[in-house]
A and B are shown apart, each in its own frame.
Chain A
Amino acid sequence: QKEVEQNSGPLSVPEGAIASLNCTYSDRGSQSFFWYRQYSGKSPELIMFIYSNGDKEDGRFTAQLNKASQYVSLLIRDSQPSDSATYLCAVYTGFQKLVFGTGTRLLVSP
C-alpha cells in the first residue's frame, strides 16, 4: 500500500464550479498535511497546509482533514482555467521528511 494515495485524474470541471481533490494516507501518526500545486514544466509550490481535524480556508481554497478516516481533501471554489495544474498531496512523516502522492491533474474548462 502506498503511503499517500491520490486519484491521478484528470479531474475535469467547468469554470466557476467547485473542484474537489482527495488524498488518503496510511501512517496514522502523521501530523501535518500539505497541498502543492504544480503547473506543467514548473516546480511544486505550496498552497495550503493543515494540522488539525476540520476545515481550513484560504481564499478560494479549503483544506479538509479527517484523521480518523486518514483522509485529506482540497476544495477549490469558483474554479478558474488558471487553476488547471497537478495538485500534490504531501504528508509529513517526521524527521523533516515529506511523502508525496502522485498527484491529481485538474482541468478547468472555460
Chain B
Amino acid sequence: DVKVTQSSRYLVKRTGEKVFLECVQDMDHENMFWYRQDPGLGLRLIYFSYDVKMKEKGDIPEGYSVSREKKERFSLILESASTNQTSMYLCASSPTGGTGELFFGEGSRLTVL
C-alpha cells in the first residue's frame, strides 16, 4: 500500500520559533509537494520538488523554505513561525509521467501562538 508519512499530526509552537515539518514517501516518487489548507482558501501550493536537491516555489512560498536531501524525504521549514502560519499542512507525492494523481499524507496541524 502506498504511503506518505508526515512526522507530526499536531504541533503547537510559539511565534519566532523555527519549525520543521517532515514528510517521507515509500513509493519512489520523483515529485513531492507541500500544500497548506485553510478554510475558504482551499489547498495552496507552497513548494514542490521534482528531484533530489531541486525545489520550485509554489504560489505562497513566503516565510517557508524546503529541503530535499534524499528522494524519499521532503522537509518544510518555517524559519520564524508567525501566527498567520497556523494551518493544516499537507505533503503529497506523485510519479513523473503518471496521471497527475497526488498521494497525500495525513496532514500536520500547526498552531502558532
Contact = CB atoms under 8 A, between A and B. Distances in A.
- To the question of whether A and B form a pair in one complex, the answer is yes
A8 interface: yes
Interface of A: 8, 32, 34, 42-46, 49, 88, 90, 92, 95-103
13 contacts: A32-B100, A43-B106, A43-B107, A44-B43, A44-B104, A46-B102, A49-B101, A88-B43, A96-B31, A96-B48, A100-B35, A100-B44, A101-B42
Interface residues of B, number: 23
Q: Looking at B50, B100, B107, which has the most chain A CB atoms within 10 Å of its CB?
A: B100
A98 B90 contact: no
Interface in B85-107: 90, 94, 96, 99-102, 104-107
A43 B40 CA distance: 16
B45 interface: yes
B51 to A, nearest CB: 11
Mostly, the A contact residues are strand
B13 to A, nearest CB: 21
Contacts of B102: 44, 46, 90, 98
B41 interface: yes
A58 to B, nearest CB: 14
Given A43-B104, A96-B100, A102-B40, 18 more contacts: A8-B40, A32-B99, A32-B100, A42-B107, A43-B106, A43-B107, A44-B104, A49-B100, A88-B43, A95-B56, A96-B31, A96-B48, A96-B94, A97-B45, A97-B48, A98-B102, A100-B43, A103-B42
